[in-house]
Amino acid sequence: MAARSLFRTVSGLLRAAGRSCSSGGPVTLPRRGEPALPEAQALSPARRREFLRDHAAPFSAFLTDTFGRRHNYLRISLTEKCNLRCQYCMPEEGVPLTPKADLLTTKEILILSQLFVKEGVDKIRLTGGEPLIRPDVLDIVGQLHQLDGLKSIAITTNGINLARLLPQLQRAGLSGINISLDTLVPAKFEFITRRKGFHKVMEGIHKAIELGFYPVKVNCVVMRGFNEDELLDFVALSEGLPLDVRFIEYMPFDGNKWNFKKMVSYKEMLDMIHQRWPELEKLPEEACSTSKAFKVPGSRGQISFITSMSEHFCGDCNRLRITADGNLKVCLFGNSEVSLRDHLRSGASEEELLNIIGAAVGRKKKQHAGMFNIAQMKNRPMILIGG
């Protein structure tokens, strides 16, 4: 594969390269396997010893921020286009789309993916817009599957095209699937998404189960006045099917007319579910997980809560994002971006790209600004960020 040969000399860069921290001062990068100096300086002595013990395995300093967070999870938006118009995601009239020439090509996606994987990324998630409307999505998955060190390739999809494409995606190397579904009522689906397609999404969910994906993750954005009355129906769905139904707190993005009153908090949702299932069990939390998981005893599946607004999980964040137009975002709720596309097309060397990536990761803040401040910030609509 052509992309595999483009960055063969990346090893050794950590010994030669340097990057600047967010204050502008120079920071010398340690050799691979040594703790990054900014990480150690940011921690108390006891936490520093704990950090050094827990992070003994080599990991790229370029992907490690000043708070010791190692970013081994990359989300790549394949397109800004979508075949739905979900109310929490984008305005009804749609959004201005980036010209095709300014979007990452397949080759550029693979070049950047290989670079990140060489530096320690072992999970890539393909997002959108709607990634399954990109014509070469099968080729992208297949070539990503060839990258040494990449353990997981996942997709987040609205499910409209899923049943048709999933067998081929699985053969190409897809290992994980998240399907967005905010209602179990067909008429309400059409209201929320401004499009038809409920039965296609359900067909995709059952196809994923049939093909052995486990768990099949179903993402449900809970909105007061829209679908909070279906909360218990979704929990019941997890009783009979091997799903991880993930309830997501409503989040603000440009164009979705965010209103604090629309947000149903994690604790409110949990209280509602406990009234019906008082025996609900809390499951152990995985490292760097964005969700809090629970299970109704005897269920085939489970439920989870993504508490981006009420209880942030920034302290364990291991995610980076590349938008469809090639910008690196180190925080979903940050409006700071750096164009990897422009540097790539101007002929930047591997060392230069890594320094650019490292500088951006080094500027990542300890946590986002909080739900009230986020609601006032300018940020791309969700569909342009890549979820």
Q: Cβ atoms within 10 A of the Cβ of 288, count?
A: 17
Please report whether residue 95 resides in a domain.
yes
pLDDT at 27: 31
Q: How large is the C-alpha radius of gyration of the chain?
A: 21
Q: Fill in the DSSP letter of residue 90.
A: S
Q: What's the CATH code of the domain at 176? A: 3.20.20.70
Please report whether residue 37 resides in a domain.
no
Residue 36 structure tokens: 């990054």
- Could you give phi then psi for residue 127, rounded to 5 degrees? -130, -170
Residue 68 structure tokens: 């010791």
DSSP 248-275: EE----TTS---GGGB--HHHHHHHHHH
- Residue from 266, 365, 375 nearest 311 by CA: 266
Q: Are strands 291-295 and 302-306 parallel, antiparallel or unpaired?
A: antiparallel
Please report whether residue 350 resides in a domain.
no
Find the distance separating the first CA and the last CA of the chain, reported in whole Å: 29
Q: Are 327 and 338 in contact (CB under 8 A)?
A: yes
Please report whether residue 295 resides in a domain.
yes
Q: Rounded to two decimals, what is the model's pTM?
A: 0.80
Residue 165 structure tokens: 């494409």
Residue 9 structure tokens: 């000399």
Q: Where are the alpha helices (DSSP H) in the chain?
A: 13-16, 37-42, 45-54, 106-118, 137-144, 162-172, 186-193, 198-210, 231-240, 266-276, 340-345, 350-362, 371-374, 382-385
Please report whether residue 41 resides in a domain.
no
Count: domains in the chain: 1
Q: Decide: helix, strand or coil at residue 202.
A: helix
pLDDT at 262: 79
Please report whether residue 332 resides in a domain.
no
Q: How far is CA 56 from CA 14, 16, 148, 309, in A?
A: 17, 21, 21, 33
The residues, any chain, with a CB within 8 Å of residue 153's CB and separated by 6 or more, are 123, 124, 125, 126, 141, 144, 145, 173, 174, 175, 176
Please report whether residue 147 resides in a domain.
yes
Q: Are 327 and 360 in contact (CB under 8 A)?
A: no
Residue 156 structure tokens: 């987040």
pLDDT at 36: 42
- Could you give phi then psi for residue 76, rounded to 5 degrees? -120, 120
Please report whether residue 92 resides in a domain.
yes
Residue 142 structure tokens: 């297949």
pLDDT tens for the chain, 387 residues long, are: 433 333 333 333 332 333 333 323 333 333 333 444 444 445 554 554 455 445 445 689 999 999 999 999 999 999 988 888 777 666 666 677 889 999 999 999 999 999 999 999 999 999 988 999 999 999 999 999 999 999 999 999 999 999 999 999 999 999 999 999 999 999 999 888 888 899 999 999 999 999 999 999 999 999 898 899 999 999 999 999 999 999 998 865 554 454 567 789 999 999 999 999 999 999 998 877 778 999 999 999 999 999 877 766 677 889 999 999 999 999 876 667 999 999 999 999 999 999 999 999 999 888 754 454 544 555 544 444 445
- Residue from 231, 259, 166, 254 nearest 204 by CA: 166
Calculate the dihedral angle through the C-alpha atoms of 40, 43, 45, 50, rounding to the nearest 10 degrees.
-80
User: CA-to-CA distance for 362 and 278, rounded, in angstroms?
Assistant: 44
Place of tokens 């422009």: 342
pLDDT at 202: 97
> Residue 298's domain spans which residues?
73-314+378-385
User: CA-to-CA distance for 83 and 34, rounded, in angstroms?
Assistant: 46
